[in-house]
Structure 1
Amino acid sequence: MPPERSGEAAHFRALESLYAAAPINHLFESRLQIAGPGVARIHFDVDERYFHAAGAAHGTSYFKLLDDAAFYAINSLVTDRFMLTTQFNLLFTRPLSAGPVVAEGRWISGKRRVFVGDARLIDAEGEEAARGTGTFMRSRIALATLPGYSRS
């Protein structure tokens, strides 16, 4: 196996594949990048499909991106089980209009059963549009059993 497909790097690439295979991500066309242990980024282009009636991104877009970024930052540290979001708090700081955004997630604490992660949503001008903090726990679902998660 090439070095980039073994160990930690293989886990990161498998998580990126798992993310891409999730049906919801056919609605929210986005790309996950695991930058390192406990760090994840989601790249997304906001367009009018995600707007509410007043012409800015609906809160579901904020939640989806922030939860996913924090979740995958946490799951980058857990190689055997799929994590579950048990709680997530959002703070909206500015409306998002059309354009590229990046959700940056990171692990804060926890290494056994319950983990804490946070994420921030950065707009095309480099301004923070929202942030969120959540708790995540190990599920009984083995990563290796999920379609899309493959270390080969």
Structure 2
Amino acid sequence: MPPDAGQMEDGASQHYRALERLYASAPINDKFASRLEISGEGLSRLTFSITEDVYHAAGAAHGTIYFKMLDDAAFYAANTLATDRFLLTTSFNLHFTKPVRVGEVIAEGRWVSGKRRVFVAESRLIDQEGDEIGRGTGTFMRSRIALSSLDGYSA
């Protein structure tokens, strides 16, 4: 007996779950306590746990962690619209508004424009007090790398 329509995932949902698996499979993410959730087209949400091991000398998270969180959120929001190819970051602008220390940070990504070769997406970081601590805008380009060729995506 075939599964009913409510049990079958549509193509978009399958793509979103595959992107979540791809994120989790990336070796760089072994270094960061984080989790990706994609709720719909052009949207991503990452939850990061900030610990003192990412601090700079003045006792707050180094800018590289801001970039990682903002870039990942914008990238995955954009890649929800590219179901065949892995996207590459071609440029990214950052704005830091508040230092972050130990705690949970949410990175929200949102696709802005582009559906063929170049995509634009933005992201923002929210600390556990609910304050925006950073914002970014990225440009992403379709690569020659098929998503289906990546182990994490097709697992």
Task: State the distance in 2 between where 1:112 and 1:52 align.
Answer: 39
Aligned match for 1:139, one of 127, 139, 143: 143
Structure 2 residues without counterparts, runs of 5 or longer: none
Q: Classify the secondary structure of the residue corresponding to 1:148.
A: helix
Code of the aligned partner of 2:130: G
Identity of aligned residues (%): 65
TM-score by length of 2: 0.94
**Distance apart, 1:111 and its partner CA:** 1.0
Task: Confirm whether residue 54 of structure 1 aligns to residue 49 of structure 2.
Answer: no
1:3 corresponds to: 8
1:31 corresponds to: 35
Structure 1 vs Structure 2 CA RMSD: 1.1
Code of the aligned partner of 1:74: A
Structure 1 residues without counterparts, runs of 5 or longer: none
**Structure 1 segments of 4+ aligned residues over 2 angstroms from their partners:** none
Q: Classify the secondary structure of the residue corresponding to 1:120.
A: strand
Aligned match for 2:116, one of 109, 112, 120: 112
Task: State the distance in 2 between where 1:3 and 1:34 align.
Answer: 18
Q: Classify the secondary structure of the residue corresponding to 2:76.
A: helix
Task: State the distance in 1 between where 2:146 and 2:126 align.
Answer: 32
**Distance apart, 1:147 and its partner CA:** 1.4
Q: Classify the secondary structure of the residue corresponding to 1:3.
A: coil
Task: State the distance in 2 between where 1:33 and 1:3 align.
Answer: 19
Give per-residue Cα distances to partners, 1:92-148, cap 9 Å, x unaligned: 000001100000000001111111100000000110000000100100000000111
Which protein shows a greater Rg? 2
1:126 corresponds to: 130
Task: Confirm whether residue 76 of structure 1 aligns to residue 80 of structure 2.
Answer: yes
Task: State the distance in 2 between where 1:35 and 1:128 align.
Answer: 21
Aligned match for 1:42, one of 24, 46, 54: 46
| Number of aligned positions between the proteins | 150
